[in-house]
Amino acid sequence: MKRHLVSTAGLGRDDALLILDTAEELSQFSGRAVKKLPTLRGRTVVNLFFEDSTRTKTSFEVAEKRLSADVINFSAKGSSVSKGESLKDTALTLQAMGADAVVIRHHASGAPARLADSDWLHGSVINAGDGTHEHPTQALLDAFTLRRHLNPGAGRDLAGRRVAIVGDILHSRVARSNVHLLTTLGARVVFVAPPTLLPIGIETWPCEVSYDLDSVLPKVDAVMMLRVQRERMNAAFFPTEREYSRRYGLDGTRLARLPEHAVVLHPGPMIRGMEITAEVADSPRCAVVEQVANGVSVRMAVLYLLLGGAVFADGPADAPRTTELQEAAQ
Is 55 a residue of the active site?
yes
Question: Which stretches of 185-304 are DSSP H helices?
Answer: 213-216, 241-248, 252-255, 278-281, 288-303
| Rounded Cα–Cα distance for residues 234 and 40 (Å) | 43
Q: Give the bridge partners for 103, in sequence order.
A: 47, 126
Mean pLDDT of 92-119: 94
Reported as a single tens digit per residue, the pLDDT across 47-95 is: 999 988 889 999 999 999 999 999 999 877 656 666 678 999 999 999 9
Please state, rounded to an integer, the average pLDDT across all residues of the chain: 90
Binding-site residue ranges for carbamoyl phosphate: 55-56, 105, 135, 138, 268-269
Q: Rounded to 5 degrees, what are φ and ψ at 44? A: -110, 125
- Enter the pTM of the model: 0.91
Instruction: Give, in order, the Cα–Cα distances in Å from 254 to each of 1, 26, 165, 277.
Output: 45, 36, 15, 11
Q: Give the bridge partners for 288, in sequence order.
A: none
- Helix (H) / strand (E) element for 192: namely strand 188-192
| Rounded Cα–Cα distance for residues 13 and 18 (Å) | 8
**Is 211 in contact with 195 (CB distance < 8 Å)?**
yes
pLDDT for 232 equals 66
Helices 136-150 and 173-184, packing angle to 10 deg = 50
Is 105 a residue of the active site?
yes
Binding-site residue ranges for L-aspartate: 83, 173, 227
Binding-site residue ranges: 55-56, 83, 105, 135, 138, 173, 227, 268-269
Cis peptide before 269 (omega within 30 of 0): yes
| Rounded Cα–Cα distance for residues 289 and 275 (Å) | 17
| Rounded Cα–Cα distance for residues 267 and 175 (Å) | 10
Is 162 a residue of the active site?
no
Q: Rounded to 5 degrees, what are φ and ψ at 60? A: -65, -40
Reported as a single tens digit per residue, the pLDDT across 154-179 is: 999 999 999 999 999 999 999 999 99
Nearest to 143 by CA among 169, 97, 182, 180: 182
Is 135 a residue of the active site?
yes
Taking the CA atoms of 146, 150, 156 and 161 in sequence, report the sign of the dihedral they define.
negative
Q: Give the bridge partners for 276, in sequence order.
A: 250, 272
| Rounded Cα–Cα distance for residues 200 and 198 (Å) | 7
77 or 208, greater pLDDT: 208
